[in-house]
Chain A
Amino acid sequence: MAKASLRWQCRRGMLELDFVLERYLDRHYDAADQTEQGLFARLLSAQDPELQLWILNGVTHPDPAFQPLIAKIRGI
């Protein structure tokens, strides 16, 4: 998916998600490999409360393939 489209998908209902998703897009997306870029696009299709659980509350994503990406988005 084009980056411009992804930027709009980073617009969420919660400020907290806006912040972490845009931060990832600006800092890490361009340098990420295709697999990670694809995972990011898939992650953006999740509902806000799910993203909140995985990214903000640190709950493990059911698919382990997402964990490294989520760690990067958390930025800790």
Chain B
Amino acid sequence: MTSEELTELLKSNSFELFNLPIEFQIDPTTLEAKYHSLQKQIHPDNFSVNRNEEKLLATSLSSKINDAYQTLASPIKRAKLILELNGLKINLAENNQLPENFLIEQMETHETIAEANDDIDKLDAIIYELEQKKDHLIAQIEEHFVNENLQIIVELIKQLSFYDKLILLVENNIQNAL
């Protein structure tokens, strides 16, 4: 690949980079195969005896491929990107419109996590439950994408990000409890 072609690739979005249609539904096996084949061509290890500029360019592009893979593999990031490509900006920090019962549930989960203390089995059970709720939300998001209810998806993504944060918190507690 020439430097010009590499530079051109740097400007493309994650879907373009992976040559995939802009759709929420994605096959993880196809995604991984594409990721690996891209890295095999672009990774800076292919350029370790080349000039420094080429190495730097390869590093930038390889980073972009890693980032794009993370984006496409994560339902929340993938959904957010599709919305952005449709001109909808989402500020995850803006969460004043969340339903009351969702917020109450969040507070309860926080309490359960605190009660579990450093009991790894209990913490694992919490993660399992949170993952199930996440899956349920993702299924809803998928449906709304089919029906193009983009505004509803914005709200669901915010809820999804709350679950992600909770899972991260519990994982951290488990690491500390080990």
Question: Are chains A and B native binding partners rather than an unrelated pairing?
Answer: no
- A residues with a Cβ closer than 8 A to B are none
